Structure 1
Amino acid sequence: MPFTIDFLDDGRVVEWEATADGVVPTERNDYTPRFYVAARSPEDDPDLAELRTQYERHPDVVRTEVVTQRPGFRRDDEPVLAVDVRHIDRVTSLARQARQLSAYPIGDLACFNVDFSREFRYCLENDISPTPATELSTLQLSVPVTETSNDVYGELTVAGDTVTGSPIELLSAVRAALEKHDPNILVCSTSEIIPTLYEMATDAGVDDFSLSRWPEVDYQQLAGESTYASYGQVGHSPARYNVPGRAIIDESNTFFYGETNLDGVLDLVSRSKKPVQELAWASIGNVLTAIQICEAHDRGVLVPWNSWRHEFFKPMGTLHDADRGGFIFAPEVGIHEDVHELDFSSLYPNIICTRNVSPDVIRCDCHSDRDDVPGLGYSICDDRGYLGDVLQPIIDARDEIKAAIRREKERDDPNGDRLAELEGRSGALKWILVACFGYQGFSNAKFGRIECHEAINAFAREILLTAKQRLEASGWRVVHGIVDSIWVTPDPDVDDDAREDLEALATEITDRVEIQLEHEAHYDWVAFVPQRDSDAGALTKYFGKVAGEDDFKIRGIEARQRSTPPFIEDVQRECLERFDATRSPEAVLTCLQKAIDQLHTGKVQVERLVERNRVSKPLEGYTQNTQNVAALKRARDQGLSVHPGQDIEYVVVDDKKSSRERVALAHEKIESYDVSYYETQLVRAVESILSPLRWDRSKIRRELAEIRVPELTVFANTENI
């Protein structure tokens, strides 16, 4: 099976298959992608014959035919117009013309199977699995951030070896690595490496330089760079390139490869029919949609180009009841001893599968008199929904992989490569399962429906409440609960002999709700952190000591935040260890004072003070002189391009300034840092640890002042001797 597919300008397609004897190309010149036109709703009756006549006159259309397909999961087979296109790049433009060519109102027509990515469409239409039959070879190419805006590189890392020198020397190193490794995948720190190397070769007069395996084409640009917003976060999508015969993974534009590894990527390749290159740049929702499209294709259901599903009518009372999230039991701020964490395994995906929650069966007409969803009164058809068939294989596979991970870790001599493979696959599947619930409420989801989103939340609330009530009735006190997790500790008002065994309770609750309740962890103690400027507990900020292990579980505080400098993180973790050993705030403050002294004496390496923050808008879009703005100004002065959605790294050198001198970029030569600023960051990090004991920053500052006074007195007395 091909691991990558190339589309040439003249319409030819080249499949590349990796075999034990090397890579084998297969050329095809008969591929014609297809899209469909049908009535938008069963009540519409457009004249497809007239539209067919119009399309047959078009020079980019190879053929048309009227076939029988299902334009939606809730629709039966009906006549639709199939249009075969001469070149894959013409599909979208021809679909847009459907409404121009038809004499019928725009609302009568809808197009299907239009906006598929190229390689995915090819695999879907030709029933091809792009899973490679043999291991794929890779070659790493990377440039330092200081080179990214240059037209000519002076430094390039090739297969782990850093090469500096003239363009000819760098190009020679790349060519030698290509001959040695013959890579199927080019893993690039940025995709701009591809065109830059070719431009360098042209300028240097190196005529025979090529990354391509196909002699007719060096490289292709598939998409330009863009900025986008998703769930309140700004992201940047760099330009995408294609090298015939090799897949490209752009490390600056890949979620799954960055969060897992190549094994995780290949696992999803086999499930989604998206080849390696497309899978690498795809988002979680994009991959989940591809898996759903495969299921729809198997059922003979077409995929709508634009989502037009209306929300079902519901009374105001139902609308109010449905507009709620998952189960939340606010944490009790403070330190709790002997805490157990219980988690429902893949709760939302399992609700979908066990309760048959799916867009095609929720609120069906055939069972409209039933109240299947608790608190909402929605019915769910007895027919099996497609979404459960999409997710159940993924749930089963992840359970099997997690079991294999446990077995491997229990071995006397665990295989590191095998563990990495299993953990990569498990991580990739986890992200798909995490996204499947939220995607049902996404307005642009191909098959989502808001009623599914509401029903899943309703079932989840009922399940967590059932578990909470059963645990409390059996001698356990719930100290926190959120979405799919419950933290419990022995109820001090219940005798130990009367308290039921937690493992037995978990088994009983599992049988009752039909979803596995797992004992996730046992903690010697857990601290729940209050919200900033409030006494209420923060839902996702806590830390605790894992029982029987030299390890802490940390969520939400600075050590888990991506922007936190390594020095601040290390100090916070050291303070956690001191707190665990002593339970003494004073001991933690001693640790803090030691770190502050290191700052003041200049003993902290500047690279351990680097902050990494995401840029949310162009430099011109900022109205306040923040640290990010100062960093962006410095980057602009140095000719470095930092786009919204990308990260910028810097050290704060003088936070009192508002100019670009406020910070220094991480790659610059930095001789000093702002001691006062980083001291404040240290105090804030320690506040997170002591806040469960009701210590705030002002109290920490007062206690530090008392610690410093005796030290200064001793120093003064020593000077007088």
Structure 2
Amino acid sequence: MPFTVDFLDDGRVRTWESTPDGAAEIVRSYTPRFFLASRSPDDEVDLTRLRAFYEGHPNVVGTETTTRRPGFRRDEERVLAVDVDHVDRITTLARQARQLPGSPVGDVACFNVDFSPEFRYCLETDTDPTPATDLTTLRLAVPVAETTDDTYSELTVDGERVSGPPADVLTAVAAAVDAQDPDVIVCSTAEIVPTLSRMAAAAGMDDFTLSRRPGVDYQQLAGESTYASYGRVGHSPARYNVPGRAIVDESNTFFYGETNLAGVLDLVSRSWKPLQELAWASIGNVLTAIQIREAHDRGVLVPWNSWRHEFFKPMGTLHDADRGGFIFAPAVGVHERVHELDFSSLYPNIICTRNVSPDVIRCGCHRDREDVPELGYAICDDRGYLVDVLQPLIDARDEIKAAIDRETEGSEPDPDRLEALEGRSAALKWILVACFGYQGFSNAKFGRIECHEAINAFAREILLTAKERLEAGGWRVVHGIVDSVWVTPAPDIDSAARADLDTLAAEISDAVEVRLEHEAEYEWVAFVPQRDSDAGALTKYFGKVAGEDEFKIRGVEARQRSTAPFVAATQRTFLERFAANRDPTAILEALRTAIDRLHAGVVDPERLVERNRVSKPRAAYSQYTKNVAALERAEDDGLAVQPGQTVEYVVVDDAKTSRDRVALAHENPESYDPAYYETQLVRAAESVLAPLGWDRTEIREALDETRPTDLTVFGAGQTGKRE
């Protein structure tokens, strides 16, 4: 079971397996393969001519005419298999299928082309890349200020700070590598790998290497790139490979950041994407890998480019289908004795219980049926492949959640086991969350928009059924969205006539075939209106969990990653005052105290750092925003901040339209703009007071009425202690 795979220049592979005695390496021959077939079953392709062309190609090892299914909705057909001498040449060879000289060969399509290399190897050789033993790890981190140079004078090695001339830094890293012989190197940025190599070359330390193979230091697998997804700009840093070790780049990993190593390895076992590839993969990429494994087991080829047409629909059906999930706008204000109920993995369970899958939706054999509510789509009785993909994930997560409950109920829970279980649960949750939206993604390998529409239709029906039964049972629905409902006891129903909520939830679960769970009970919940509107914000609320000293908050400033820590902490103080007596005066007092501290200069600027994502290059901004000022400072300091990455800064003078408007966090600013952060505090207070009917204008008026006329307080703390 290799945990990482290296590809050699001659086409062979070197696999690395974890053993109790360390990593073992094995060199094997390897011949990757891709396929060619007609794009449509109604088209004909001249496979003989294609085969003759590829057999004469110097990078082709061999060809074979065989049978495969070019799609889930197609039967077995004759296809051409092409064996290649190196994994890096597959894409180039596939492109040549449409570039043959002379007469055309037909409408040819390529399959199994764009797999990532390590995943391809595991899939084609039936190799499970799950490590057989625990992996050893080493973490290397570099401060942001150090990334501006080609040489590090400071580095953190497994939490221990190392500083000094390059030789000292390199010696410390080499000693840690020799002592731990890590299987995994976790880097704060993957640029640590080439930078250390350059430092070693400049220092004449020829024996320095992070690799397990003498003489082979590292390889660059991909350059950096910027991309856009659903209107959001992202940045992918360069990727590197170190022979014999898996690299995890903390600046370019979703699953390792959102879960932990146990969560990543759980997905390795399900997707067969080895650790290094899975660490930098997106949710959709991992879900696709799991789907590809299912397709492979069924003898179905994977299209290079998605070309699924959307089935014909009457205008009325298009109108009905173009709707999202269930939404019941929240009633703005404070509600007592609120219960939150969630359908467990609603969309994945809809897929599995209703057999919603691209290969069976709107099948040709049941055209007379109307299985999907509102839309009238038929769903075949044959079990869809997507059910086989998702049901094991749903079952596994249920088992893991049960194990977490057993662990936490014990008198002495094992923290390491609990952390591993929570990581695995979170990893599966992200896959299940994405499976629905991926059906409507135009570039999804096996998605189909009709599945997306059907899932939404079933979800709306399920939530409406739940709402009706809850109200019939004596409960009032105060909010509902997608898979969750919030209810309070209906005021006009006697408690003796009100149905038990757990019993009612069980009955609804049986009726809709998806488990409705009691997520939480709140002493109260406050739903916040939209900014500059009286309508309720769908995902902006806060509430006091019953019997516990904690709040559940969504959408407000303390929950937003961009909010400065001081503002977030102050808003939590507002929530505590709100919970104590819901007296706006108490919240205004806390607001006034925080504002006074700002103007007194006693707030540590580190607690005023804001984090914002950059959406485009500096030159593309038409307004001089704080992000632009931060980008200018970063550029002057030699920091390359790309679209999709984040900038961290303190606002020092918001009135300026120059780089002096902000100071970058690593510059350790000593001052800040109190008026700017006062505005942020007022916004945070408005979010808490809005359910009580207050807006920022009223908050400002209340502050002005009680603002002290003696302004000496604002200068009293200039030399005082900062917190």
TM-score (norm 1): 0.98
Q: Given the alignment of the two structures, is residue 9 of structure 1 paired with residue 9 of structure 2, yes or no?
A: yes
Counterpart contact for 1:272–1:287, Cα < 8 Å? yes
What is the Cα deviation at residue 159 of structure 1? 1.6
Partner SS state of residue 532, structure 1? coil
In structure 1, the residue matched to 2:121 is 122
Contact in 1 for aligned 2:337/2:524 (Cα 8 Å)? yes
Corresponding letter in the other structure for 1:243: V
Sort the Cα spacing of 1:190 and 1:35 in 2 relative to 1 into closer, same or farther, 3 A: same
Partner of 2:720: none
- The separation in 2 between residues aligned to 1:408 and 1:478, in whole angstroms, is 34
**Partner of residue 190, structure 1:** 189
CA contact (8 A) 1:220 1:241 kept: yes
Which residue number corresponds to residue 23 of structure 2? 23
Separation of aligned partners in 1, 2:713 and 2:394: 64
- Aligned counterpart, 2:549: 550
Alpha carbons 2:341, 2:517 under 8 Å: kept: yes
Deviation at 1:104, TM superposition (A): 5.8
Pick which of 141-150 and 248-257 moved more: 141-150
Q: Which amino acid in structure 1 is aligned with residue 266 of structure 2? A: D
What is the CA distance between 1:125 and its match in structure 2? 0.1
Q: Secondary structure at 1:174's aligned position in 2?
A: helix
Q: By how many angstroms is 1:165 displaced?
A: 1.0
Aligned-residue offset at 1:713: 13
Question: 1:434 maps to which residue?
Answer: 433
For residue 446 of structure 2, what is the aligned residue in structure 1? 447
Counterpart of 1:437 in structure 2: which amino acid? F
Q: Secondary structure at the match of 1:101?
A: coil
- Aligned partners of 1:538, 1:226: CA distance in 2, in Å? 35
Deviations 1:534-576 (A, max 9, x none): 1000000000000010010000000010100000000000110
Deviation at 1:106?
7.4
Where in structure 2 are the equivalents of 1:610-689 lying within 5 Å?
610-689=609-688
Question: Which residue type is aligned with residue 11 of structure 1?
Answer: G
Residue deviations 1:497-552 (CA, integer Å, cap 9, x gap): 11100000000000000100000000000000000111000000000000010010
1:94-141 deviation per Cα after TM superposition (whole angstroms, max 9, x unaligned):
000011237564761000000000000000000000000000000011
Confirm whether residue 180 of structure 1 aligns to residue 164 of structure 2.
no
> For the residues of structure 2 that align with 1:271 and 1:13, how far apart are their CA atoms?
22
Give the letter aligned to residue 681 of structure 1: Q
Distance in 1, Cα, partners of 2:214 & 2:208: 11
Aligned twin of 2:718: none
Is the Cα–Cα contact under 8 Å of residues 46 and 104 in structure 1 kept in the other structure? no
Spell out structure 1 runs of 4+ moving beyond 3 A: 102-107, 709-715
Q: Measure how far apart 1:489 and its partner are.
A: 0.4
Q: Does 1:583 align with 2:582?
A: yes
Q: Residue type of the partner of 1:457?
A: N
Letter in 2 for 1:274: K
Residue type at the aligned position of 1:547: A
TM-fit CA distance, 1:606: 0.7
Please name the residue that 1:506 is paired with: 505
* Structure 2 unaligned blocks of 5 or more: 715-723
User: Are 2:267 and 1:285 equivalent residues in the alignment?
Assistant: no
Aligned in 2, Cα 1:182/1:442: closer, same or farther, shift over 3 Å?
same
Name the structure 2 match of 1:718. Answer: none
- The Cα of 1:156 is off from its aligned counterpart by 1.0
What residue is the counterpart of 1:214 in the other structure? 213
1:336-386 CA-to-partner distances (Å, cap 9, x unmatched) read 000000000000000000000000000000001100000001000000000
Provide the C-alpha distance between the structure 2 equivalents of 1:122 and 1:215, rounded to a whole number of angstroms. Answer: 24
Distance of 2:394 and 2:103 partners within structure 1: 46
Residue aligning to 1:475: 474
Q: Does the residue aligned with 1:366 lie in a helix, a strand or coil?
A: helix
- CA separation of 1:41 and 1:575: change in aligned 2, threshold 3 A: same
Moved more, 36-45 or 704-713: 704-713
> 2:349 touches 2:514 (CA, 8 Å); kept in 1?
yes
Question: Which deviates more, 551-560 or 211-220?
Answer: 211-220
- TM-aligned CA deviation for residue 708 of structure 1: 2.3
Q: Which residues of 2 match residues 229-308 of structure 1 at below 5 A?
A: 229-308=228-307
CA 1:314 to 1:52, structure 2 compared with 1: closer, same or farther past 3 Å? same
Deviations 1:32-78 (A, max 9, x none): 10000001111111110111011000000000000110000000011
Q: CA deviation at 1:409?
A: 1.0
Bigger Cα displacement from structure 2, 124-133 vs 155-164: 155-164
| Alignment size in residue pairs | 714
Cα distance in 2 between the residues matched to 1:204 and 1:711: 62
1:624 CA displacement: 0.8
Q: Give me the CA root mean square deviation.
A: 1.3
- Return the alpha-carbon distance in structure 2 between the equivalents of residues 92 and 629 of structure 1: 39
Whether the 8 Å CA contact 1:51–1:102 is kept in 2: the answer is no
Q: Which amino acid aligns with 1:6?
A: D
Residue deviations 1:619-647 (CA, integer Å, cap 9, x gap): 11111111011111111111111111111
Q: Secondary structure at the match of 1:310?
A: coil
> Partners in 2 of 1:17 and 1:208 — Cα distance?
24
Distance 1:95 1:216 in 2: 33
**Letter in structure 2 aligned against 1:212:** S
Give 1:456's aligned residue: 455
Matched with 1:49 is: 48
Is the 2:49–2:105 contact (alpha carbons within 8 Å) kept by the matching residues of 1? no
- After superposition, residues 252-401 of structure 1 pair within 5 angstroms as 252-401=251-400
| Structure 1 residue aligned with 2:410 | 411
Relative to 1, partners in 2 of residues 1:378 and 1:207: Cα closer, same or farther, differing over 3 Å? same
CA positional deviation for 1:707:
2.4
Name the structure 1 match of 2:67: 68
Q: Which amino acid aligns with 1:494?
A: I
Identity rate of aligned residues, in percent?
75
Q: Is the 8 A contact 1:38 1:71 kept in 2?
A: yes
Give the C-alpha shift of residue 714 in structure 1: 13
Using the alignment, how far apart are the partners of 1:2 and 1:290 within structure 2? 18
CA contact (8 A) 1:50 1:102 kept: no
Aligned counterparts of 1:670 and 1:47: Cα–Cα separation in 2: 69
Q: After superposition, give the CA deviation of every residue in 1:175-211 in whole Å (9 maximum; x if it has no partner).
A: 1001111000010111111111111111111111111
Deviates more, 1:179-188 or 1:595-604: 595-604
Say which SS state the counterpart of residue 364 (structure 2) adopts.
coil
Rounded Cα–Cα distance in structure 2 between residues aligned with 1:504 and 1:92? 57
CA distance in 2, matches of 1:714, 1:353: 64
Matched, 1:203 2:186: no
CA distance in 2 between partners of 1:301 and 1:609 (Å): 54
Alpha-carbon shift at residue 709 of structure 1 (Å): 4.7
Query: How far does residue 586 in structure 1 lie from its aligned partner after superposition?
Result: 0.6
Relative to 1, partners in 2 of residues 1:104 and 1:312: Cα closer, same or farther, differing over 3 Å?
farther
**Structure 1 residues 488, 104: CA separation in 2 closer, same or farther (over 3 Å shift)?**
farther
**CA apart distance, 1:148:** 1.1
CA deviations over 1:438-458 (Å, ceiling 9, x no partner): 000000000000000000000
Structure 1 alignment gaps of length 5 or more: 716-721
Normalised TM-score (structure 2): 0.98
